[in-house]
Copies of this chain bind each other. A is one copy, B any other.
Amino acid sequence: MVRRTGRRPGNPDTRESILSAARGAFAEKGFDGASIRAIATSAGVDPALVHHYFGSKDKLFLASMNSPIDPVDIIVEATAGERDEIGARFVRAFLQMWDGPRGSAAVALLRSVVGTEWTAKLFREFILTQILRRAVPRLDLDPAEAHLRVTLAGSHLVGLALARYVIKVEPLASAPPETLVAAIGPTLQRYLTEELPGVFPQV
């Protein structure tokens, strides 16, 4: 058997038992409360092995959720151009992920999230620690406004994913990506960077 390079070393059973222990710990104690040490103990392995397999706690969390993306990647892509194109770039990067090879994993994740209270809690931790805490600072927003701005944008994108890829509502399901960029891009632009009277106190 040919071994693939780097990414998934070691015994697949060990890897799976670490992921299973991580899922339980993150759901029960939250991201901050779950320690690599306790996860390792629960999986019956040495903590060094957890670091060796997954690198950081963030990466272990993303792997335990089967997340097809690291949200930081999408934000890096969205912020790589002009600031007044951030909305369009966001929608485009998001659709590319769902339309690409990682799309089916994303559908599975979204289905599982909504299915039970348990996974909803995990997803809440995902949004808080991976999106709001790690990714959002890169958007360079007013900290007092950043979380509401980003969750407004995020709620729209999650609804789009649900309608287009899970429920498959037409004509949304078959609309060309650039049509959706033209429709939804300005919305995200407004949520992220424009004045929102009635939402935040006016200066």
Contact = CB atoms under 8 A, between A and B. Distances in A.
Nearest to A131: B169
Interface in A171-203: 171-172, 175, 178-179, 181-184, 186-187, 190-191, 196-199
A44 to B, nearest CB: 32
B159 A124 contact: no
Given A159-B156, A187-B187, A198 B178 contact: yes
Interface string A109-140: 01101110000100110011000000000000
A114 B166 contact: yes
Contact of A163 (B158, B166, B184, B199): B158
Contacts of A157: 159
B179 A198 contact: yes
Interface stretch (A24-32, A55-63, A71-79, A144-152): A144-152
Given A115-B111, A147-B170, A151-B169, A182 B160 contact: no
Contacts of A15: none
Which of A114, A148, A170 is packed against the most chain B CB atoms within 10 Å? A114
B155 A159 contact: yes
Contact of A167 (B127, B181, B183, B197): B127
Contact of A156 (B127, B155, B197): B155
Contacts of A45: none
